[in-house]
Structure 1
């Protein structure tokens, strides 16, 4: 399961980094536009960044983010945040955007928007929210910054920078915006000049007012409590009183919450009917998963959850009991975990989170066939489920059933060509089944999506040494190798 407190070394360097630069009070100074020559959408000169170019820019941005931050790959977590964002997008006035939401494993209270509809949310922000309405309000605000093109419009137009280099630069600026030490962002972004990072990416006051207005409108249309946004702002403002000005958390440093802003958002929210919405079970399960992972010792988590359930101290009983199950699994108390998960499954046997938890109990209890059976039955209930397919594929690989795992994973790859997790598992499945060439190719794609061009090139070079490869495959891999080498050269040139 996901471990909140075990971030990768590179991610720890980035822990001080990406502030809520795109959430509340961020603005690129005009002087920075001359230094960061990126295309501008809707420029009067007609030098427009097309939707296809913006998508490619977003992909390059995400490769840089994955290379410098601990992006969560847990399928349960990623599926939830995407589903929440999709609900907002379906009820917004959005046209032409395919939003991609992701979570960063970091306890700071942050979120940010990037090009191409990419929105990142920190685990610390999720655990700080007290309701799904509040979390949705953050996403809705970020979506508004993207749909109103506040980010891309801040950059001057030029064709001197390639899209991969532009994506790296934007990632460096996003990362540097939160850090008091620009050199930390330089390390994370692999070579961007420190001087460029001394400027914050900020939005104008009018940008913020527009994002607040559109975000609240989207919240209401999607059935959430429109007053969640001013409520969250107010709580953040109250929290700021607990800190010295020089020691504010990232959210509050980049995100001053004024009384005028709170009053304005209250006024806008009051225009919509009041809705009392408790929040989905999935929201409470996600918070429980994150909370359980915060404990250094499983015994501490077990005591906390057992006591809170006995005393009735929780927002959602099923969510709290799920956290107890995870703590028991982590503490290897499988019999107790089995008893608790049964109580949850008796009420909702179809819940994917509970099916996965039971499979982990079977794994820990050394019942590999029962684990496979649990996941198979889950897929019968939820045919084609990405979440269950990932866990099932992992179980198959651990049982040496690599070809079956590969078939399952390749089915999931359709429509998910940017999914690094799938490529990593496919590399193992192909290699274990004897197809070493495909294994190296899949591993190359994993490294490429992770922003590691050098490793991607090495894997493709190894794959091309296979003399038995047919002409079509050889030509395809050769072309891919040329493309990645060119991107690497472009990035090196930009960093010089």
Structure 2
């Protein structure tokens, strides 16, 4: 663990920012690095595909970016499956947020402050300036280093992380990389200016830094101060406090919040679905005793109980949460999902259709509905909904392909069954079984020429070692 944290810190040293006069690598070179970097990250499956959390970070990010002039890169926002308090910019304006950041903060304004800070790093091209300084490190080396570090940080497999990182990092390169407080101050200043043009209060950035400072006070065992990912927290707080001393937040009326869901609901969803179960249950039960009118607490507790297969108790907690807002789509989605897990298919099929029109959660509702229909014997409806799911979101629901493979097998459409199973195993990165099923699909004779071409192209890509597209 100590080694992983140390390597993580080296990544942030690599990604930190040089003074303004420093040159930067070319935009084509940075795009090449970004592509290789993202290829490795996707292969390690450390990106968390949660609809509510991804909606939160993407909508906040887009709202901030809308206030800026055109940029040389297309910004993308990703959620990393890591419980620590962190966020960072990587090559090519890819912004990463740890799930632990969402669970540690208290409001949309605070998260917007952190995201504006990282966007400011990317806008200033601090990342590319730092890379340019490390001229001895080629594109492949840098991609391997940064990808391996994130895998280690997110718990994606220690040996895999070390193979990616240490196998491509030459001794002494890290000593060339600086980590300056001045760059943090510059990013804070630009973030403050950005936030003034949005519906988010710049005070959120200050509040988030206070949360970070509280984390610092607890200490990170075995890691020196200069290795920490956000240096100079105290001076940054003082600087922002001075900026805020004569600031009155009055954003234009048109800049209404783009975020659909209550922050606490998303926060406790993340806790309920991904944080350690036993400790989280104790924490939330304690908070309920102090704040019994917060539906997000019951929602999170219900999700935690479901992970322990205490489904009766989970349903009770979700119903308590729903009593505060009978139409909350997040609660309804998970209530329907847990009903299906509990074998109460009629109840699941009664709830889930009403959420299919939700622009964020609709596809997830359709998938859980299809599972309930399949388990209850309504195979035609299940097939129809599963097909819609993979058409809408082809990579988010690997099990949809698995279920379709089983359905096709029962219908004696063997080639198509193998085709769907090949895609399923490809998405879960089991290349051996993916190859086996796709070859069988082709050999058995796929009726549709386009499907056959798709199978051949997927098989070729798997053979080349590239990730699913």
Structure-2-length-normalised TM-score: 0.75
Unaligned runs of 5+ in 1: 1-10, 34-38, 42-47, 414-418, 489-496
Q: CA deviation at 1:146?
A: 2.1
Deviates more, 1:319-328 or 1:231-240: 231-240
Give the whole-Å Cα distance in 2 for the aligned partners of 1:269 and 1:169: 38
Give the Cα–Cα distance (whole angstroms) in 1 for the partners of residues 174 and 14 of structure 2.
19
**Could you tell me how far apart the structure 2 residues matched to 1:196 and 1:173 are?**
17
Distance 1:111 1:28 in 2: 19
Residue among 203, 206, 216 paired with 1:227: 203
SS at match of 1:420: coil
Q: Secondary structure at the match of 1:366?
A: coil
Q: Are residue 436 (structure 1) and residue 417 (structure 2) matched?
A: yes
Relative contact order: is structure 1 or structure 2 higher (C-alpha 8 Å, sep ≥ 6)?
Answer: 1
- Tell whether the 8 Å contact from 1:23 to 1:255 is kept in structure 2 after alignment: no
CA contact (8 A) 2:302 2:314 kept: yes
What SS does structure 1 have at the residue aligned with 2:126? coil
Name the CA distance, whole Å, in 1 between partners of 2:102 and 2:117: 15
Residue 308 (structure 1) aligns with = 287
In the other structure, the counterpart of 2:322 is 345
Query: Partner of 1:265: helix, strand, or coil?
Result: helix
**Partner of residue 136 from structure 1, selected from 112, 117, 137:** 112
Provide the residue aligned with 1:362 in structure 2. Answer: 339
Contact kept, 8 Å, 1:362 with 1:370, in 2: the verdict is yes
Structure 2 alignment gaps of length 5 or more = 409-415
**Displacement after TM superposition at 1:340 (Å):** 4.2
Counterpart check, 1:283 vs 2:296: no
Instruction: Tell me by how many angstroms 1:145 deviates.
Output: 1.9
**Counterparts of 1:193-204 in structure 2 under 5 Å?**
193=169, 195=171, 198=174
1:20 deviates by 9.4
> Aligned equivalents of 1:247 and 1:108: distance in 2?
15
Whole-angstrom distance in 2 between the partners of 1:356 and 1:23? 41
Residue 129 of structure 1, CA deviation? 2.0
Residues 431/331 of structure 1: CA separation in 2 closer, same or farther (3 Å cut)? closer
Residue 407 of structure 1 corresponds to 387
Once the two structures are superposed, what CA deviation does each residue of 1:11-48 show, in whole Å capped at 9, x if it has no partner? 9996775459559982589xxx9xxxxx923xxxxxx4
Residues 115-162 of structure 1, C-alpha deviation per residue, up to 9 Å, x if partnerless? Answer: 34322222222222233322221111112222333223443599x999
**Following superposition of structure 1 onto structure 2, how do residues 317-396 of structure 1 map, counting pairs within 5 Å?**
317-330=294-307, 334-335=311-312, 337-380=314-357, 385-396=362-373
Summarize the Cα distance change of 1:21–1:164 in structure 2 as closer, same or farther, 3 Å threshold: closer
Alpha-carbon distance in structure 2 between the residues aligned to 1:113 and 1:85: 12
Q: Is the 8 A contact 1:18 1:177 kept in 2?
A: yes
* CA distance, structure 2, for counterparts of residue 280 and residue 20 of structure 1: 36
Rounded Cα–Cα distance in structure 2 between residues aligned with 1:390 and 1:329? 18
Rounded Cα–Cα distance in structure 1 between residues aligned with 2:222 and 2:3: 20
| Deviation digits for residues 347-377 of structure 1 (CA, Å, limit 9, x no counterpart) | 4333221112221342354211221221112
Report 1:27-66 matches (<5 A): 27=17, 40-41=25-26, 48-49=27-28, 54=31, 58-66=34-42
Aligned to 1:86: 62
Q: 1:411 to 1:439 in 2, by over 3 A?
A: closer
For these two proteins, the number of residue pairs brought into alignment is 445
Bigger shift: residues 61-70 or 453-462:
453-462
Shift in alpha-carbon separation, 1:252–1:338, aligned structure 2, 3 A: same
> In structure 2, what is the Cα distance between the partners aligned to 1:337 and 1:71?
27
Q: How does 1:136-285 map to 2 (within 5 A)?
A: 136-156=112-132, 167-172=143-148, 185-188=161-164, 191-193=167-169, 195=171, 198=174, 207-243=183-219, 246-247=222-223, 253-270=228-245, 272-274=247-249, 282-285=262-265
Quick one: distance in 2 between partners of 1:281 and 1:384?
11
CA RMSD of aligned residues (A): 4.7
Q: Which residue of 1 aligns with 2:52?
A: 76
Secondary structure of residue in 1 paired with 2:262: helix
Residue correspondence of structure 1 range 97-112 to structure 2 within 5 A: 97-112=73-88
Deviates more, 1:56-65 or 1:207-216: 56-65
The aligned counterpart of 1:446 is 427
